[in-house]
């Protein structure tokens, strides 16, 4: 197994994730009544856990200390995206008839370089990993092709690092990040490398919680995407690999059967290839 348990460090990736999130425009048109109802139910659920497990004062103090540490490590976006986002995603996409989605995670960065329908992702000349060619098409639920649709793609490298979240590793700013515009028939062909599984940071509060509970901190190898086209709902997903490590015990609980890829060897012997299409729901 080539996944690394030290990549990337919490002090770096957590702070970066928090900084990126703080630049995001965040609003919600929630009434005081709705806010009150959500908070009351959240506290009621917490009180039920306290009574069920007879939580001690020592454990309560440890909880307070840990909550403070999550903030100091800059890991709230990481913690929430790993342990909560999969439920938020399920609730908000339950109405869809098109492709399944998944969590965004904390490592998305908007504004990646725009690339044509047939392209190679930005990468280092000596980029490690198995070459991967991804062919696909973006369609609407009625079957019509969505020409000019946009596929934003980003993923970790062969060592489990994301560009812009691993300072000191010499990774170019937009390494393995691109914004691909499909052709008139909604098709694309992207050359990249197959990413590796990786552990969420284990030197910070989130990783310490996993270790204290005896949970594996690993995520399976995956490709992140955002797919959008005029008049259609944006799709956010992660695509995994058949037979890959940690697909059965993903710490983020984000793996779905519909999102698992089955790579095959390329005819020219230059790595692997996959075919995976997207079907978008109308707005």
pLDDT confidence of residue 5: 42
In contact, 196 and 162? CB cutoff 8 Å? no
pLDDT confidence of residue 168: 82
In a domain, 157, yes or no: yes
The whole-angstrom separation of Cα 229 and Cα 144 is 12
What are the φ/ψ torsions at residue 85 (nearest 5 degrees)?
Answer: -60, -35
Residue 36 CB contacts under 8 Å (≥ 6 apart), including other chains: none
pLDDT confidence of residue 182: 98
In a domain, 64, yes or no: no
pLDDT confidence of residue 11: 54
Give the distance between the most distant pair of CA atoms in the chain.
64
In a domain, 137, yes or no: yes
pLDDT confidence of residue 3: 39
The whole-angstrom separation of Cα 206 and Cα 77 is 10
Number of compact structural domains in the chain: 1
For the chain, 283 residues long, give each residue's pLDDT as a single digit of tens: 333 444 445 556 666 777 777 777 778 889 999 999 999 999 999 999 999 999 999 999 999 999 999 999 989 989 999 999 999 999 999 999 999 999 999 999 999 999 999 999 999 999 999 999 999 999 999 999 999 999 999 999 999 999 999 888 889 999 999 999 999 999 999 999 999 999 988 889 999 999 999 999 999 999 999 999 999 999 999 999 999 999 999 999 999 999 999 999 998 889 999 999 999 999 9
In a domain, 181, yes or no: yes
Cα angle vertex 280, ends 274, 283, to 5°? 165
In a domain, 199, yes or no: yes
Token reading at 70: 């999550």
pLDDT confidence of residue 4: 44
Classified as helix, coil or strand, 143 is coil
Half-sphere exposure of 49 (CA within 13 A, CB side): 8
pLDDT confidence of residue 220: 97
In a domain, 53, yes or no: no
Q: Which domain holds residue 25?
A: 10-30+75-280
| H or E segment and range at residue 36 | helix 32-53
In a domain, 94, yes or no: yes
CB atoms within 10 A of CB 219: 26
pLDDT confidence of residue 148: 98
In a domain, 245, yes or no: yes
DSSP class per residue in 80-120 = HHHHTHHHHHHHHHTT--SS------S---S-PPEE-SEEE
> CATH code at 159?
2.60.130.10
In contact, 274 and 261? CB cutoff 8 Å? yes
pLDDT confidence of residue 15: 67
């Amino acid at each position: 197994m080539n996944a690394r348990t030290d990549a990337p460090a919490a002090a770096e990736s957590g702070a970066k994730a928090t900084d990126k999130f703080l630049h995001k425009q965040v609003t919600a048109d929630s009434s005081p009544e709705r806010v009150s109802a959500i908070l009351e139910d959240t506290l009621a659920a917490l009180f039920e856990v306290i009574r069920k497990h007879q939580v001690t004062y020592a454990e309560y103090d440890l909880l307070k200390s840990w909550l403070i540490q999550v903030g100091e490590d800059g890991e709230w976006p990481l913690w929430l995206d790993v342990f909560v986002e999969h439920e938020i995603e399920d609730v908000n996409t339950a109405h869809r008839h098109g492709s399944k989605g998944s969590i965004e995670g904390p490592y998305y960065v908007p504004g990646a370089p725009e690339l044509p329908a047939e392209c190679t992702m930005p990468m280092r000349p000596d980029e490690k990993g198995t070459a991967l060619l991804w062919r696909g098409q973006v369609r609407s639920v009625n079957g019509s092709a969505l020409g000019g649709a946009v596929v934003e793609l980003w993923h970790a490298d062969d060592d489990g690092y994301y560009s812009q979240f691993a300072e000191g590793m010499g990774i170019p700013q937009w390494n393995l990040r691109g914004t691909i515009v499909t052709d008139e028939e909604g098709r694309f062909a992207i050359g990249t490398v197959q990413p590796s599984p990786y552990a969420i940071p284990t030197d910070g509060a989130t990783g310490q919680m996993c270790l204290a509970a005896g949970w594996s901190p690993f995520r399976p190898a995956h490709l992140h995407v955002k797919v959008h086209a005029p008049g259609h709902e944006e799709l956010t997903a992660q695509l995994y690999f058949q037979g890959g490590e940690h697909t059965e015990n993903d710490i983020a609980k984000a793996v779905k059967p519909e999102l698992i890829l089955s790579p095959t060897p390329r005819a020219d012997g230059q790595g692997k290839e996959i075919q995976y299409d997207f079907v978008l729901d109308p707005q």
